[in-house]
């Protein structure tokens, strides 16, 4: 049920009704108590109607005006919807208070221990969790990942192209055999087309396996080949004389560029 707030005019009307009629009971079931009403307390709309009616009846009975507003419009003027105050939080139990005090003391003790005996750098890193990737490490691994992705994509593309080429070759050979043997009987043409397409498929597979074998052999030979590096000549430059001396003993004079040096 929605209640309204008691305005100063409504409070004066309640006091006048209690003084003149000798009764201050306007409560019904589920309605607010008005025995100790104050400005801002809740009041229902039906209570305002009953209050206005009782004041008007009393005014008509004594045939004179009373010193308060008795009209419903005047009683409703300035009234607002009553919003009950928030409920008070339940009191904390003694056990909860003791637990929080104990946890607070333990945390203060740990903070004091950390301040007196600070952990080492390794312990700090272990407490902070796994070390994030550094900029250089991520930059160093990024090309490897990209290279792996590109290699995988190229392998898939090559395999799909190979499958499509084999299928196109088989279908083209079977259609060609079917058209070429047009004067044969249909069962013979069908058998010849199937046999020819099967032979082409076997040949394609054999050729591809041979190609794969040759590529793997070439890769293995390339891996086994060792690269050798040797020093052919060694030059020693002398900055004072502008000469360079070969390790074997021959000297060569460096050419000096003529011009104005700034």
Write the pLDDT tens digit of every residue in 62-102. 766 666 777 777 777 888 888 888 888 888 888 888 999 99
Q: How far apart are CA 23 and CA 15, in angstroms?
A: 10
Mean confidence (pLDDT) of the chain: 75
Q: How far apart are CA 119 and CA 259, in angstroms?
A: 65
Per-residue pLDDT band for 106 (boundaries 50, 70, 90) equals very high
Q: Does 244 fall in a domain?
A: no
Q: How far apart are CA 128 and CA 122, in angstroms?
A: 10
Of the residues 26, 41, 76, which one is the last residue of a structural domain?
A: 76
Q: How far apart are CA 15 and CA 22, in angstroms?
A: 10
Q: Does 224 fall in a domain?
A: no
Q: Does 96 fall in a domain?
A: no
pLDDT of residue 140: 45
The answer on pLDDT for 217 being more than 70 is yes
Q: Does 247 fall in a domain?
A: no
Q: Does 43 fall in a domain?
A: yes
Q: Does 226 fall in a domain?
A: no
Of the residues 187, 202, 219, which one is the last residue of a structural domain?
A: 219
pLDDT of residue 104: 93
For residue 25, the Cα-to-chain-centroid distance in whole angstroms is 62
Q: At what angle do helices 186-224 and 135-180 cross, to 10 degrees?
A: 150
Q: Does 139 fall in a domain?
A: no
Backbone angles phi, psi at 217, to 5 degrees: -65, -40
Q: Does 172 fall in a domain?
A: yes
The answer on pLDDT for 139 being more than 50 is no
Q: Which residue range is the domain that position 207 belongs to?
A: 159-219
The answer on pLDDT for 103 being more than 90 is yes
The answer on pLDDT for 149 being more than 70 is no
- What value does the mean pLDDT take over residues 159-178? 88
The answer on pLDDT for 112 being more than 50 is yes
For residue 106, the Cα-to-chain-centroid distance in whole angstroms is 35
The answer on pLDDT for 253 being more than 90 is no
pTM: 0.34
The answer on pLDDT for 145 being more than 80 is no
Task: Tell me the Ramachandran region of residue 246: left when phi exceeds 0, alpha when psi lies from -120 to 50, beta otherwise.
Answer: beta
The answer on pLDDT for 138 being more than 70 is no
pLDDT of residue 129: 52
Of the residues 48, 76, 104, which one is the last residue of a structural domain?
A: 76
pLDDT of residue 189: 87
- How many domains would you assign to the chain? 2
Which residue has tokens 């930059």? 139
């Amino acid at each position: 049920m929605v209640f309204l707030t008691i305005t100063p005019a409504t409070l004066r009307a309640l006091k006048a009704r209690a003084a003149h009629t000798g009764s201050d009971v306007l409560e019904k079931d589920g309605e607010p108590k008005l025995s100790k009403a104050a400005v801002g307390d809740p009041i229902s709309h039906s209570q305002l109607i009953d209050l206005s009616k009782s004041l008007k009846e009393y005014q008509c009975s004594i045939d004179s005006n009373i010193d308060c507003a008795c009209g419903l419009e005047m009683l409703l003027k300035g009234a607002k919807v009553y919003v009950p105050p928030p409920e008070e939080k339940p009191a904390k139990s003694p056990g909860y208070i003791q637990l929080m005090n104990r946890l607070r003391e333990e945390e203060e003790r740990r903070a004091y221990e950390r301040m007196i005996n600070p952990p080492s750098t390794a312990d700090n890193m272990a407490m902070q969790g796994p070390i994030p990737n550094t900029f250089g490490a991520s930059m160093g691994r990024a090309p490897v990942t990209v290279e792996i992705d590109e290699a995988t994509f190229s392998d898939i593309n090559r395999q799909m192209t190979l499958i499509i080429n084999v299928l196109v070759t088989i279908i083209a050979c079977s259609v060609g055999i079917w058209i070429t043997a047009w004067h044969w009987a249909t069962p013979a043409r069908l058998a010849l087309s199937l046999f020819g397409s099967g032979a082409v498929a076997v040949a394609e597979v054999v050729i591809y396996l041979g190609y794969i074998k040759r590529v793997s052999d070439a890769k293995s030979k390339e891996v086994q080949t060792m690269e050798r590096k040797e020093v052919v000549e060694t030059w020693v430059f002398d900055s004072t004389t502008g000469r360079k001396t070969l390790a074997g003993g021959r000297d060569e004079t460096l050419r000096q560029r003529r011009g104005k040096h700034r």
